[in-house]
Chain A
Amino acid sequence: MKRNDTSSRYTYWYAKLLNLYPRPYRERFGESMEQTFNDLFLGRRRTDKGLSGFIVWSFTETSVGIIKERLHYMKSSSKSLAFPAVTGLIAVLPFMVMEFLTASDQPRSNFALPMFIIMWLFAVLFIYILMSVVRSLQARKKAKTNPALLGLKIVVLAAIAWSWVGLIIDQIPCFLGASGC
């Protein structure tokens, strides 16, 4: 059965909507979804029911599906920085609170803010690389990991941890309210 102009127009825009799905999902199911939508459209046309409600419902229903898949993809995506960013902030927060609570009468210089930003960035980077290392170790069972790259990541992790701990040790007196900071 050949598609007429009306069917082609709606299928065209439906295909455009499908582009909003995450790429892996779109590559796997996009063609099938487009076919199914067209089948539904042609089936609907054969009945005496209107098309407007069907079009609105289809596009709305698929849009909801897109949002769900995007949220699911963000949670599971290895490239997502949301989790490292939030976790890094939680790691730095206690020291910021200590600094705030123990501030002396003579306010500290503006040095503190850049320091906390650096601490946060170190923490974000550490967690992001750690997540990557964990996934590499899990993938090792399927022989998908690069040993040299994995080793380099572990070295970088150690360097970041060393720097972070060194910075905290150096600044502990200031966090505890020592004068002269």
Chain B
Amino acid sequence: MARTTPYIPLTPAVLYILMALSTGEKHGYGIMKQVAADSDEKISMGPGTLYGSLKRMLEAGLVAESDKKIDPEMDDQRRIYYKITASGQEALTTELERYNQVVSLSKGRALLFGLVMYET
């Protein structure tokens, strides 16, 4: 399928939020926990950063608000859940393809410059 969404460089916060939501809709705290897990605790995101990013992502159509419901693993408070949209999924895919291309390019050049690349 041809890509119709223009390439959007994603900030690290937006990228990790989309990665977190790619596994299913989540509320704010759930997104934070997933981001921390995905980044091995290297990305520490507070409510200010999270909801500032969510606001812009909602405006850009990358995510959407889902139902307000109770998280059975937490208390009985109802929380707003967020989900990734088709545009968000496409933006995420485009960004990951770009990363993949850069990694492939760097591996090739590492052979030229004598750098050691470790496979993870």
- Interface residues in chain A, defined as those with a beta carbon under 8 Å from any beta carbon in chain B: 1-2, 25, 28-29, 32-33, 35-37, 39-40, 43, 57-58, 61-66, 68-69
Distance, CA A69 to CA B52, complexed state (A): 8
Q: Does B48 lie within 8 Å of A39, measured CB to CB?
A: no
Tell me what chain A mostly uses at the interface: helix, strand, loop, or mixed: helix
Distance, CA A99 to CA B49, complexed state (A): 51
Q: Does A39 lie within 8 Å of B74, measured CB to CB?
A: yes
B108 to chain A, nearest CB (A): 39
- Interface residue from A1, A32, A63 paired with B48 (Cβ < 8 Å): A63
Question: A64 — which chain B residues lie within 8 A by C-beta?
Answer: 48
For the complex, count residues of B whose C-beta is within 8 A of A.
19
Residues from 73 to 95 in B contacting A, C-beta threshold 8 Å: 74-75, 77, 79-80
Question: A1 — which chain B residues lie within 8 A by C-beta?
Answer: 74-75
Who on chain B is nearest to A33 by CB? B47
Tell me what chain B mostly uses at the interface: helix, strand, loop, or mixed: helix
Question: B28 — which chain A residues lie within 8 A by C-beta?
Answer: 32-33, 35-36, 39
B82 to chain A, nearest CB (A): 9
A39 to chain B, nearest CB (A): 4
Q: Does A36 lie within 8 Å of B47, measured CB to CB?
A: yes
Q: Does B51 lie within 8 Å of A61, measured CB to CB?
A: no
Distance, CA A33 to CA B80, complexed state (A): 10
Q: Does B48 lie within 8 Å of A62, measured CB to CB?
A: yes
Q: Does B75 lie within 8 Å of A40, measured CB to CB?
A: no
Distance, CA A58 to CA B50, complexed state (A): 12
B94 to chain A, nearest CB (A): 26
- Interface residue from A25, A35, A62 paired with B77 (Cβ < 8 Å): A35
Who on chain A is nearest to B58 by CB? A28
Q: Does B52 lie within 8 Å of A32, measured CB to CB?
A: no
A147 to chain B, nearest CB (A): 29
Question: A58 — which chain B residues lie within 8 A by C-beta?
Answer: 46-47
Would you call B20 an interface residue if the criterion is a C-beta within 8 Å of the partner chain's C-beta atoms? no
- Interface residue from A35, A62, A68 paired with B46 (Cβ < 8 Å): A62
Who on chain B is nearest to A69 by CB? B52
B81 to chain A, nearest CB (A): 10
Who on chain B is nearest to A54 by CB? B46
Would you call B32 an interface residue if the criterion is a C-beta within 8 Å of the partner chain's C-beta atoms? yes
B74 to chain A, nearest CB (A): 7
